[in-house]
């Protein structure tokens, strides 16, 4: 799969959150892409993926951890 931003996700290694004990409602990330973090819905692995900059993803994760979201 190649996205319009030029990131090719074919062959990506997807990692599910260790917090996915809630019945499988979780996201997966592909951590091996410099500068970006591809994210997809674990329930729909063949569906679309979103690609965030690494800075945006870190900010999102920090906000969730701080209870801001």
**pLDDT category of residue 47 using cuts at 50, 70 and 90:** confident
Looking at residue 24, its pLDDT comes to 64
Q: List, for residues 31-45, the tens digit of each pLDDT value.
A: 989 999 999 988 888
Q: List, for residues 9-30, the tens digit of each pLDDT value.
A: 888 999 987 766 666 678 899 9
* Cβ-contact 47, 40 below 8 angstroms: yes
Q: Which residues contact 48 (CB under 8 A, 6 or more apart)?
A: 40
Looking at residue 53, its pLDDT comes to 93
Looking at residue 2, its pLDDT comes to 44
């Amino acid at each position: 799969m190649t996205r319009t931003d030029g990131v090719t996700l074919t062959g990506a290694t997807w990692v599910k959150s260790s917090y996915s004990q809630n019945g499988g409602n979780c996201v997966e990330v592909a951590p091996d892409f410099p500068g970006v973090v591809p994210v997809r819905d674990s329930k729909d692995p063949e569906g679309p993926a979103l690609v965030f900059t690494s800075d945006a993803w870190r900010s999102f994760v920090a906000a969730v951890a701080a209870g801001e979201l």
